[in-house]
Structure 1
Amino acid sequence: MDIQPFSLPLSSPLSTADGTIESRRGFLVRTEIDGVAGVGEAAPLPGWTESYDACQAALCGVEKPKQALEDNVFDDTPAARHAVSLAVADAAARRAGVPLYRRLGAGERVESVPVNATVGDGSPSATAEAVADAAAAGFPAAKVKVGNRSLDADIERIEAVRQRYPDIELRVDANGAWEFETAREAVESLSALGVAVLEQPLPAEALDNHRRLRGHGIDIALDEGLLRHGVDAAIAAEAADCLVCKPMALGGVDIARSAAERARADGWDVIVTTTIDGVVARAAAVHLAASVPDVRPCGLATGGRLASDVGPDAAPVSDGTAAVPQGKGNIPPL
């Protein structure tokens, strides 16, 4: 197995709770399964996955990729598992002569998947302007980040958007920033403004309180909560209406696909997102979304956040959709 490190500068720094990210570092993994080559990507992101050093150590310890997956050696290193499992799946799809999304379970050809725009924190006018840009670019939905300001200030931002664009699907992502009483007030206000989805309003551990927020005119989505508890526990707790699947953080497109199937079987919607990955992992997430029937607009329009990439964009975004690669495997060989 060949391991190649990379570092991709962001087009502009990204502020997070864990600090400012200026680049995405990771590894391309190349392997050969039954005489067919496959490529995977690990892009660890502290707070969501293991550290860069832990990822590297896990990858360097792999001698037989398929055996490592069967032996479950990646319990604490989801980004490393993502890379190895994707390389194996890519090789299997190439050997079968089908695109990865067909290998993941799609029954028919899928040309594209809908994607949402993501709008960061900003003033009411800046937020409205960003959503205006998204609407003009053809995005069917916009996700607005909230939780860094008071609830009243965030509601003012959403009101400014609604005054300008009454029809675009709006989602709000709090990244677990609120306590229950604030979240309950937010549900009432955001529902009145026609917000479709409230993502991770409470900290990840609060499954029961997420359940208490449901049924009030706005879908509750789990992101960090899925990573903390797993899909079976989340569904058993009836904690949400929608599951946010990040393949890199979950440990691979195969695990994310299983989670999506489990969620859909229980009547939940599914949204696939990236962790600002390189083209190999980003395209794999597009294949995953393409394998989910009637998937909602997904958080896959993240390639523009990178100033450079490990290869050409294999799943370009245009008019609010991401093109699904149709060749063998995940993407054309790099």
Structure 2
Amino acid sequence: MRCRLRPFRLTKAVPLAISRGSTSAVEHLLVEVSYEGLTGLGETGGFDTGHRHYDTAAVAAELEALAPHLQGASPLGSQSLEPLLAQLSPPARCGLDLALHDWRGKRLGQPLWRLWGLDPGACVATSVTLGLGTPTAVLARLERWWQQLPASRIKLKLGSPEGLDHDRALLQAVAEALERKRQQAGAACELQVDANGGWTLEDALRLLPELQAHGVVLLEQPLAPQLDPTRDTAGFAALHPHCPLPLVADESCWNLEDLLRLAPHTDGVNIKLLKSGGLTEALLMAQTARRLGLGVMLGCYSDGALLNGAAAQLLPLVRWPDLDSHLNLVDDPFTGLDCQGDQLLLPGGPGLGIGVAEAWPGLVPRVAAGLAPEGLP
């Protein structure tokens, strides 16, 4: 098995601000796995959840160190590869896991969702994100989304460092804009709230009646995630009995173990491939969540269409898709993830169904054995 690692940059058309800070661009990694004339593609990169941080350069170093152990292996040997992937951090494992899945799907000539027997008719519209800012700026961002696509599901970021009054002003402004849209267009827009861990328990309890009054349909990660699982679970356990909205865990839920401990105290979990370590764990989490009666949200960070196209393989299992990051990029090098209105279409090509644009300056022959990073395109 021959592998290659190439860094590239992704730049947002509109920077995104959340409770932990603002992002305008990120550096990601393209992971290529080649074997028997086929190449599987994976995307990964660093990210920060407030209590855990991963740097893209460190992720690259992990994959470089693993490369010599992969050269004698086959992408077909998923079980034999498990001990090697288990050594990696979640984002490093994600990049390689996606490339292996892509290779296997290409080998079989089918998209992953079809190999898994999923129903493309079960997919629903994705939400689009409004970051923190002044009410005027946030409403301008909402209008920009509406110019780009129907945007019938809106996720509003709260947990502002400026305090609850700022959150209240944003909530009221966006709720009023959605009501005006409903009156003008005759179609309601769904409003979700994601505090990204920016509230205390007291803050959340204080705001619950206001969220409900403004028609919010779910509350995501209101409390800061904790490294101690017992303390983390205790926060959700204290809030859940008082929450009239579906309560969804994001930064607190990384893998199946987290899902099982949070299941009694939440109504849903946000699965992100960089957190879960790729599609292998994400598929298991989505199936388990549904069996337990939990709603599945499928989220992203500042990801390109390759990562979101990989996540899209799971869309038939998802109640709340949130895969909009690639729609806010000016330099996404990937193709194959299309929309019909605000519903993402399942990629039709084999494997992940995502390709690299021929005009991408970083595209070079795939001949290197080992994961050797090259310069940014």
Same fold (TM over 0.5): yes
Verify: 1:81 aligned to 2:93, yes or no: yes
User: 3-state DSSP class of the match of 2:222?
Assistant: coil
CA distance in 2, matches of 1:254, 1:110: 23
Q: CA deviation at 1:134?
A: 4.2
Residue deviations 1:57-83 (CA, integer Å, cap 9, x gap): 111123326577411444552111111
Q: Which amino acid aligns with 2:5?
A: I
Q: TM-score, normalised by structure 1?
A: 0.88
The structure having more radius of gyration, on CA atoms, is 2
Aligned partner of 2:363 in structure 1 is none
Q: CA deviation at 1:130?
A: 3.8
User: 3-state DSSP class of the match of 2:11?
Assistant: strand
Verify: 1:99 aligned to 2:111, yes or no: yes
**8 Å Cα contact 1:135-1:168 kept in structure 2:** no
**8 Å Cα contact 1:196-1:218 kept in structure 2:** yes
- Among 46, 51, 55, the alignment partner of 1:51 is 55
Gaps of 5+ in 1: none
**8 Å Cα contact 1:114-1:296 kept in structure 2:** no
CA distance in 2, matches of 1:18, 1:164: 26
Q: CA deviation at 1:90?
A: 0.8
Verify: 1:183 aligned to 2:204, yes or no: yes
Q: Which amino acid aligns with 2:262?
A: A
Q: CA deviation at 1:14?
A: 4.1
Aligned partner of 1:311 in structure 2 is 334
Q: CA deviation at 1:247?
A: 0.6
- Among 233, 258, 264, the alignment partner of 2:261 is 233
Verify: 1:323 aligned to 2:325, yes or no: no
CA distance in 1, matches of 2:130, 2:20: 19
Aligned partner of 1:23 in structure 2 is 25
CA distance in 1, matches of 2:200, 2:354: 46
C-alpha change, 1:207 and 1:226, in structure 2 (3 Å) is same
Residue deviations 1:225-257 (CA, integer Å, cap 9, x gap): 10386212222xx22111101111221022111
- Among 109, 128, 134, the alignment partner of 1:117 is 128
**8 Å Cα contact 2:334-2:355 kept in structure 1:** no
Gaps of 5+ in 2: 180-187, 227-231, 357-377
CA distance in 1, matches of 2:22, 2:193: 22
Verify: 1:214 aligned to 2:235, yes or no: no
CA distance in 1, matches of 2:315, 2:192: 18
Q: TM-score, normalised by structure 2?
A: 0.78
CA distance in 2, matches of 1:129, 1:26: 29
C-alpha change, 1:211 and 1:33, in structure 2 (3 Å) is farther
Residue deviations 1:292-319 (CA, integer Å, cap 9, x gap): 1xx224111111332212233x213342
Q: How many residues align?
A: 327
Higher mean alpha-carbon deviation, 135-144 vs 112-121, is at 135-144
C-alpha change, 1:333 and 1:135, in structure 2 (3 Å) is closer
C-alpha change, 1:264 and 1:279, in structure 2 (3 Å) is same
Aligned partner of 1:42 in structure 2 is 44
Residue deviations 1:101-120 (CA, integer Å, cap 9, x gap): 223x2433459541001001
User: 3-state DSSP class of the match of 2:10?
Assistant: strand
**8 Å Cα contact 1:3-1:28 kept in structure 2:** yes
- Among 298, 313, 324, the alignment partner of 1:272 is 298
- Among 270, 285, 301, the alignment partner of 1:259 is 285
- Asked which structure has the greater RCO (Cα within 8 Å, sep 6+), the reply is 2
**8 Å Cα contact 2:19-2:196 kept in structure 1:** no
Q: Which amino acid aligns with 2:177?
A: R
Matches within 5 A, 1:150-229: 150-166=163-179, 167-205=188-226, 206-215=232-241, 216-227=243-254
* Identity score, percent: 27
Verify: 1:301 aligned to 2:305, yes or no: no
**8 Å Cα contact 1:113-1:286 kept in structure 2:** no
